[in-house]
Amino acid sequence: MKRLLFLSCILLLSLSAISQLSTLPPDKIYGRLFTDVQLQPVFPDSKTFVDCTSKRNPDEIINSYRLLRKDSVSKKALVKFVFENFLVPFDSPTDYQTDTSETLENHINRLWKVLKHEPDKTISRSSLLPLPNPYIVPGGRFREIYYWDSYFTMLGLAQSGEWEMIENMIRNFSFLIQRYGHIPNGNRSYYLSRSQPPFFSLMIQLLADKKGNAVYREYLNSLQKEYDYWMDKTAPTKHLVIMPNSSILNRYYDQDSIPRQESYREDYLLALKESREPDHINNPDFFASMCRNLRSGAESGWDFSSRWFADGKNISTIKTTDIIPVDLNGLLYQLELTLAHAYKITGNTGNYNFYLQKSNVRKAAINTYCWNEKGKWYVDYNFARRLQSSEYTAAGITPLFFNIASPAQATEIESTLNRKFLKNGGVVTTLRNTGQQWDAPNGWAPLEWMAVKGMENYGKKSTAREIATRWIKLNRDVYKRTGKLMEKYNVENTTLEAGGGEYSGQDGFGWTNGVLLKLMALYGK
């Protein structure tokens, strides 16, 4: 009996060790090897190595590398070592052929099969966090599910009648909440330190519109845990900010303060360079602070944009954690309303009233701190400086998407949008061209959808149609030219590619496909 108990304890300890290893990011597992691979660099894209799968036990690889390296190792030897010890990820080969003569609807409907990922098998030596159900990936270098991308992808899946896939993806997100306490940026171990814009409640609403109120009952516990994560109740995530009038709003705040593993070289070199500048050389915390702000910018989904920069121009001045983003707080307002509705359905009147009151307080706080009367636009709020941001961005339209604005504000926003943001190809992301991908001249499918839907919410049908038709035409023109549907588009000069960012333009592309299908269904081809 004692022997049986002893063996059981050993088994439990082994399983615990395996489980712990599976959630460790690659930098924690491989140490110096990871740093050398990323800084040499072995791969032009820092994300490649963190998505590699080791061919043997990581401890054996580390010991072998220690013997190889000694004092130094050549790049040639390092490359050879990596390819001998790791399976390098590539985009899955497929017999899919683009035919630009077919309708865009048919093209996208065929693409769902290309972007489909079957349920994951547990691979102990991979950074992938296995999901129990099928899902849709964005495409290109993005080989895993992504949080906020998926809502906009679901808009198109719904249009295609792919409700089973929508439900499978929601089940996966619920699984992540139950397993890790939140929905990470994506299902990778190196994404566990942060989330992304919290669209889970809108996914639930989308499914409930099809299947009825039972959906709210089924996912109420996960909705509550999602809210508790963002409100610092399950862990001190520091997403909460107490405002000058004692109301509470939220910010983005990554839980780590090291270079992003999937962009390690870029973050490390930038933070190192800036930490050596005269203004920062005597600040031992500057490197870590800058890394946290870069990581928090990634949590926002807007990685990167002038809206996070103290000088509005240079990424070296990034201060994401000082900012109260208007769109994040709109999403949490939506989550509070969803919780109120779900509790009402279950007969919990106390919680219904509690979350309804929470939503009312948040709505008032958003209008207090983020409405810019002079500019007739919603802006972010810098709570560290106690000032509204001077950066005007497409996030300022989102209060219309969430029905936070008054009718008078909506009319003023429509005017500002038409004068400043509406370009040949749709709504531009910001009014600055900094070389960052979430700035001018680029436009992005999720922002176009929220602008269109926001205008619709307030009866601004003409402007909604104008945004939609310009975006549809741009998508269609690029598709005819290239055979691709891209992650982002140049809305100012529609003959040019979108630029900026840390990687080349990606096609596929989940959220572009979803929004385009939905808009074509609403506004024609």
CA distances (Å), origin 369, targets 78, 273, 450, 473? 52, 35, 21, 36
Residue 502 designated active-site = no
Choice among 226, 299, 303, 327 that is catalytic = 303
Q: Which two tokens stand for residue 464?
A: 């909604």
Rounded to a whole number of angstroms, the distance between the first and last alpha carbons of the chain is: 73
- What percent of the chain is helix, strand and coil (3-state, nearest 5)? 55, 10, 35
Q: How far apart (Å, rounded) are the C-alpha atoms in residues 400 and 464?
A: 12
The DSSP bridge partners found for residue 135 are 117
3-state secondary structure 291-318: HHHHHHHHHCCCCCCHHHECCCCCHHHE
In sequence order, the 6+-apart residues with CB closer than 8 A to the CB of 300 are: 196, 197, 252, 308, 320, 325, 328
Contact 239, 250 (CB under 8 A): yes
The two tokens of residue 39 are: 């800084």
Instruction: Look up residue 151 and give its two tokens.
Output: 């809502």
**In degrees rounded to 5, what are phi and psi of residue 242?**
-85, 120
- Nearest CA to 260 out of 296, 300, 229 is that of 296
Q: Out of 27, 380, 414, 487, pick the active-site residue.
A: 487
Question: E strands, 187-268, where?
Answer: 240-242, 248-250
Q: Does the annotation mark 303 as catalytic?
A: yes
Using CA atoms, how far apart are residues 107 and 513, in angstroms rounded to an integer? 9
For the CA atoms of the chain, what is the radius of gyration? Answer: 23
Distance, in Å, from the CA atom of 155 to the CA atom of 13, rounded to the nearest integer, reads 44
Residue type, 408: A
Give yes or no for a contact between 359 and 336, defined as CB atoms under 8 angstroms apart. yes
Task: Single out the residue of 387, 418, 421, 414 nearest to residue 399, CA to CA.
Answer: 414
Please list the active-site residues.
303, 487
